Chain A
Amino acid sequence: DTGVSQDPRHKITKRGQNVTFRCDPISEHNRLYWYRQTLGQGPEFLTYFQNEAQLEKSRLLSDRFSAERPKGSFSTLEIQRTEQGDSAMYLCASSLVKRDRAFAEQFFGPGTRLTVL
């Protein structure tokens, strides 16, 4: 299966620690999105990349959050000095946007569930 993969699937950490998540998109997909989903809510957009360029960041993405996609393939999301409010499911999605198309379906990974104690 060559779908979107995320690692780890679960992460438990103590408040104040740094954590890093990885997302591997579908091969050759040029867009990659990060969303956050808290319990009982729908996913919320955090940021997205077109190839290696980070083109938009939500106001939800505080200074403690940083995302990279260095070679336009996999991406990492780092949270520094974690807080209990960071506990959530972090979802990654990828899509292939072509120049002449306005719509490209996003394919979601299984998510990384973060618990901050």
Chain B
Amino acid sequence: AQSVTQLGSHVSVSEGALVLLRCNYSSSVPPYLFWYVQYPNQGLQLLLKYTTGATLVKGINGFEAEFKKSETSFHLTKPSAHMSDAAEYFCAVSEEGSGNTGKLIFGQGTTLQVKP
């Protein structure tokens, strides 16, 4: 069974500082990995995804994440935080391969606070 663990339910950084949100996954098959962002009272927006190929993936709004199979991790980073980055972030995993359901298994989320 697949699962996702996000370390730290709340992360606070100063504007301009590095953002690091941690995600570890468990999967018995090669995973597809995702980061989503959710603003208050809104649905989820895809930030970036890893399916195959390059393990360092770049997403929208300056975010990137690196798939490390040996560490079963997919941490999200951004070099310089902006006030508009304050939101809830979810890491998710899905199964690879044809015939898959595509259903997403989410972590519990990390709230990012950005201080001026």
Binding site for B on A (CB under 8 A): 4, 31, 33, 35, 40-45, 48, 55-56, 91, 93, 95, 97, 102-106, 108-111, 113
Contact = CB atoms under 8 A, between A and B. Distances in A.
A116 B98 CA distance: 39
Given A42-B90, A102-B100, A103-B32, A108 B106 contact: no
B20 interface: no
Interface size class of B (residues with CB under 8 A): 20 to 34
B101 interface: yes
A42 B51 contact: no
B44 A48 contact: no
Interface in B76-116: 90, 92, 94, 96-98, 100-109
Contact of B44 (A56, A95, A97, A108): A108
A106 B51 contact: no
B42 to A, nearest CB: 6
A106 B104 contact: yes
Contact of B43 (A31, A56, A95, A110): A110
B46 interface: yes
A95 B109 CA distance: 23
B109 A33 contact: no
Nearest to A97: B102
B101 A40 contact: no
Contacts of A40: 9, 108-109
Nearest to B36: A108
A2 to B, nearest CB: 15
Given A40-B109, A91-B43, A110-B42, A56 B102 contact: no
B103 A48 contact: yes
Contacts of A42: 4, 90, 92, 106-109
B102 A104 contact: yes
Contacts of B102: 31, 33, 48, 95, 97, 103-104, 106
A104 B45 CA distance: 14
